Amino acid sequence: MSASAAPLVQHAEAERRNSISIVLKDIVQEYPAPGGGATRVVGGIDLALERPGINMLLGPSGCGKSTILHMMGGVRPIGVKTPTSGSVLIDGEPCDGAHDDSVMVFQRYANRPDLSVFENVAFPFRLKLWRQRLPEGEWRDRVTQILAAVGLADKKDLRPAQLSGGQNQRVALARALVLRPRILLMDEPFGALDAQTREEMQHLLVKLYNDRPCLVVFVTHDVTEALMLGDRVIVLSAQPARIADDFVIGEPRPRSGTWQRSSEAVKLEERILNQLHKVSPGKGSLRVTV
Amino acid sequence: MADFWNPYAALSPGQRKALGIGAVAALLLLWAGLAASGWVSSNRLPAPWDVAAALSYLTWHEGESLLATATLWSLGRLVVAGVLVVAIGIPIGIAMGAAPRINAALSPLLDPFRSAPVVALLPILVMWLGIGEAMKIAFLFIGAVVYLIPMVRDAIRAVPQSYWIGARDLGATPWECVRKAVLPMAMPRIADALIVAVSVMWTYITVAEYVNAKVGLGQLIQNARRFSAWDQVFAGIIVIIALALATYQLMLFAKRKLYPWETHQ
Ligand SMILES: Nc1ncnc2c1ncn2[C@@H]1O[C@H](COP(=O)(O)OP(=O)(O)OP(=O)(O)O)[C@@H](O)[C@H]1O
Ligand SMILES: [Mg+2]
């Protein structure tokens, strides 16, 4: 029975992940300014992300990328109305608080120093929400599978302090993906890693994405990273943030070094850099890795 | 000696032990010298060997050990008060740390006691609770809990917000965030608070046993003082210090075993 039911369940799950949308409607965000009044950080953003894919969000430092990402995740800063005006719709429904369609991955991986790698990844299943959804045997299998997928099967009993930065970020990624989210929100996840480890992590992300595509929003400072990973690249302008550019990259992943040096890629890189220089002349911390 | 004024210089365990033992030995020598020289009368400063003799007398004399009985009674009071401190103080501290509203309501009631002379409460406790065990335990409890609660609250608040946000994003209810993300991270510092609280109770034990104790280390010291048996007073103080030190080391050891990850942060 289960032999025939399993593909059906998988099919339904894939279907659910395929029909996904995040829509931002005229989003404005203001924060109280130090001297009174308000600073407009995000100045009217309309954006529709309507299918699985990797969407790169690029912009100068402090332009409001994290603010927008947190909005999509329903994570609200304390004491500030988010968004000031406009609306975030997930699957057409207004999103006004934490929701379980999305999971976030941060630059500082927020792994728990007191828990083993296995327990870090299994953490969501210690919460009522997920414990009710999955029987223990099933989530244990899932944790084991994802640990193998991120290459940490042999490290499952170690603690985060015993891992490298890259391995820690793998733990964070595994904890997010073990929930098989429809939306994955990543805030400069590889920003703190050295160039080689960052590249490894990019390959890993592509592999995991191909296993189970979902809607990824990936914030980065790194133009090369945007070109290597993005199905779509959205460039924001400096404060107040608006969409300065928005384009699609058709090249299939993994993208080779040859493609990276192709005239298409070089043109796109120039296009992004021009845009960023236009919005923040001489400012911002952009990075191009070769 | 290039690393003498260097707070980060690592000492070898041998070096550390030698310096510590050396200092204690030097103090003992100074004490012995003072007592032997006769500059200070033995009424004011009993000689180390007199104190040692008193210690042996208290430990075993005519088939009974005054010291063991006294220690057991004092320890018993301390344990009962300690259990109350843990059972009442820690939950209050956690609640204050985790809910700013509870903190805002309770801290004006609790914070003044940290600087208030807790000893001055003793007559009030006697008035309310009489001169029996309840008064002594209540005194130890109050003396320790006013330190413990703010420390537990601060331990909770010191946990980086990212753990709370992370758990919230994964679908934890606010209470689950506190219970499963913040609290476990605060445990080593809560253990520190408990260690301080127990040390505070050891310093208060003599005061707690000031009024009408029939038996206990504080009573033993007081009784000896009444008869000007200064060697016994010194012996009693040394025993209290030794016990306090031993509990401290034991609790520190237990803490390191329970939370081995803490030092790696
Ligand atoms: N809770 C808050 N209260 C007040 N101001 C805030 C708050 N959060 C963010 N800001 C301000 O909003 C602006 C945008 O912040 P945000 O973190 O979204 O930028 P970012 O694009 O992610 O920057 P970076 O690339 O450096 O991570 C910054 O100027 C920041 O100081
Ligand atoms: Mg940011």
Is the alpha carbon torsion for A140, A143, A148, A151 positive or negative?
negative
Work out the mean pLDDT of chain A and round it to a whole number.
88
Q: Is the predicted pLDDT of residue B208 greater than 70, yes or no?
A: yes
Ligand 1 proximity of A65 Cβ (cutoff 6 Å): yes
- Give burial (CB, 10 Å; 0-12/13-18/19+) of B70: buried
Residue A289, domain member (yes or no): no
Residue A74, domain member (yes or no): yes
Rounded mean pLDDT, B52-63: 93
Q: Nearest to residue A66, comparing CAs of A84, A87, A42?
A: A42
pLDDT value at residue B118:
84
* Domain residue spans of chain B: 13-45, 47-262
Phi and psi at A140, nearest 5°, equal: -65, -40
The gap from C-alpha A233 to its chain's centroid, in whole angstroms, comes to 13
B257 at interface of A, judged by CB pairs closer than 8 A:
no
Rg (CA), chain B: 23
Residues above pLDDT 70, as percent of chain A: 93
Rounded mean pLDDT, B207-214: 84
pLDDT value at residue A18:
76
Amino acid at A156: K
Q: Report the number of distinct structural domains present in chain A.
A: 1
Using one digit for the tens of pLDDT, what is the confidence trace for A153-212? Answer: 999 999 999 999 999 999 999 999 999 999 999 999 998 889 999 999 999 999 999 999
pLDDT value at residue A146:
95
pLDDT value at residue A284:
47
Work out the mean pLDDT of chain B and round it to a whole number.
92
Residues above pLDDT 90, as percent of chain A: 63
Using one digit for the tens of pLDDT, what is the confidence trace for B123-181? Answer: 999 999 998 999 999 999 999 999 999 999 999 999 999 899 899 999 999 999 999 99
Expressed as residue numbers, the domain containing A77 is 54-81+96-279
| CA A234–ligand 2 middle distance (angstroms) | 15
Can you give A47-63 as a three-state secondary structure string? EEECCCEEEEEECCCCC
Decide if B165 and A114 are in contact by the 8 Å CB cutoff.
no
A159 at interface of B, judged by CB pairs closer than 8 A:
yes
Mutate to test the interface with A, among B157, B169, B178 (most CBs of A within 10 A): B169
Using one digit for the tens of pLDDT, what is the confidence trace for A114-145? Answer: 999 999 999 999 999 999 999 999 999 999 99
Confidence of residue A290 (pLDDT cuts 50, 70, 90): very low
A158 at interface of B, judged by CB pairs closer than 8 A:
no
Distance, in Å, from the CA atom of A232 to the CA atom of A250, rounded to the nearest integer, reads 9
Amino acid at A13: E
Task: Tell me if A210 sits within 8 A of A42, measured CB to CB.
Answer: no
Residue A20, domain member (yes or no): no
Is the alpha carbon torsion for A217, A218, A221, A223 positive or negative?
negative
Residue A101, domain CATH? 3.40.50.300
Closest C-alpha to ligand 1, atom 2: A31
Distance, in Å, from the CA atom of B188 to the CA atom of A111, rounded to the nearest integer, reads 17
Decide if A161 and B259 are in contact by the 8 Å CB cutoff.
no
Half-sphere exposure of B55 toward its Cβ, with a 13 Å CA cutoff?
A: 15
| CA A66–ligand 1 middle distance (angstroms) | 7
Residue A139, domain member (yes or no): yes
Half-sphere exposure of B191 toward its Cβ, with a 13 Å CA cutoff?
A: 19
The gap from C-alpha A173 to its chain's centroid, in whole angstroms, comes to 10
Give B147's contacts (C-beta < 8 A, 6+ positions apart).
Answer: B114, B193, B196, B197, B200
Instruction: Say what the ipTM of the complex is.
Output: 0.84
Confidence of residue B43 (pLDDT cuts 50, 70, 90): confident
pLDDT value at residue A53:
94
Half-sphere exposure of B143 toward its Cβ, with a 13 Å CA cutoff?
A: 28
- Which position has the higher pLDDT, B250 or A78? B250
Q: What is the dihedral of CA A34, A35, A37, A43, to 10 degrees?
A: -50
Q: Is the predicted pLDDT of residue A10 greater than 90, yes or no?
A: no
The SS3 of residue A231 is coil
Q: Partners of A206 in the beta sheet?
A: none
Q: Report pTM.
A: 0.87
| A17 backbone φψ class: left, alpha, beta (φ>0; ψ -120 to 50) | alpha
Residue A63, domain member (yes or no): yes
pLDDT value at residue B264:
42
Residues above pLDDT 90, as percent of chain B: 75
The gap from C-alpha B101 to its chain's centroid, in whole angstroms, comes to 30
Distance, in Å, from the CA atom of B173 to the CA atom of B73, rounded to the nearest integer, reads 46
The SS3 of residue A169 is helix
Residue A86, domain member (yes or no): no
Ligand 1 atom index nearest CA of A59:
21
Residue given tokens 């970020």 in the structure block: A169
Amino acid at B47: A
Residue A31, domain member (yes or no): no
Q: Nearest to residue B156, comparing CAs of B179, B133, B135, B138?
A: B179
Give A256's contacts (C-beta < 8 A, 6+ positions apart).
Answer: none
Q: Nearest to residue A30, comparing CAs of A90, A77, A74?
A: A77
Decide if A124 and B168 are in contact by the 8 Å CB cutoff.
no
Rounded mean pLDDT, B84-88: 97
Q: How many CB pairs under 8 A join A and B?
A: 60
Is the alpha carbon torsion for A176, A181, A187, A193 positive or negative?
positive
Closest C-alpha to ligand 1, atom 4: A31
Tell me which architecture the domain covering B47-262 has in CATH.
Orthogonal Bundle (1.10)
Is the alpha carbon torsion for A207, A208, A213, A214 positive or negative?
negative
Mutate to test the interface with A, among B157, B159, B164, B170 (most CBs of A within 10 A): B170
pLDDT value at residue B1:
66
Task: Tell me if A183 sits within 8 A of A101, measured CB to CB.
Answer: yes
Name every chain B residue with its beta carbon within 8 A of the beta carbon of A119: none
Q: Is the predicted pLDDT of residue A14 greater than 80, yes or no?
A: no
Using one digit for the tens of pLDDT, what is the confidence trace for B12-34? Answer: 999 999 999 999 999 999 999 99
Decide if B170 and A175 are in contact by the 8 Å CB cutoff.
yes
Distance, in Å, from the CA atom of A19 to the CA atom of A214, rounded to the nearest integer, reads 10
**Residue B187 distance to chain A (closest CA, Å):** 10
Amino acid at A193: L
Task: Tell me if A235 sits within 8 A of A244, measured CB to CB.
Answer: yes
Q: Could you say which of A103, A108, A159 has the minimum Cβ distance to residue B169?
A: A103
